[in-house]
Amino acid sequence: MDNILPSYLILGAILFCIGLYGALSKKNAVIVLLSIELMLNASNLNFVAFAKYGPNPALSGQIFSLFTITIAAAEAAVGVAILLALFRNKGTSDVVEMDHLKH
């Protein structure tokens, strides 16, 4: 039990699955965005865990996770902006009602 890397990977898998469940089952769009952030965080955890315990430990994993955090911040900002625009025009923040492309 001297290798703890699988524990980190399994924690990442659990977080990813919880985030996936939240993203696909919740009705409020803000919570869906938040669940997507949880999934991105799970992948970040894997990057940092491999950066320390992987076959080739290096700081590159941490730098990659920094880039991921940046992209996630941009994604959340754009997501909330789209949500605001949609709420102003259609008056809903419920993802079930966001089916304007269907009709």
Partner 1 sequence: MGGLSVMWDNLTAFFSHGPNIVFTVLAVVIISAAVLMINFDKIVHMVLAMALAFIGLGGLYILLAAEFVAIVQILIYGGAMTILMIFGIMMTRHKNQEEEAKRPVHNVLLLIGVVALFGILFYAIQGTAFVTGAPLDPGSDNTAAIGELIFNNHVIPFELVSVLLTVAFIGAIVMAKREEE
Scan residues 20-79 and list those touching partner 1 (CB under 8 A).
Answer: 20-22, 24-31, 33-35, 37-38, 41, 44-45, 48-49, 51-60, 62-63, 65-67, 69-78
Is residue 90 near partner 1 by the rule CB under 8 A? no
Give the side-chain half-sphere CA count within 13 A for 38: 19
The 10 Å Cβ neighbour count of residue 35 is: 19
Residue nearer to partner 1 on the CB measure, 8 or 101? 8
CB of 37 to partner 1, least distance (A): 6
Alpha-helix runs per DSSP H in the chain: 5-25, 29-53, 60-90
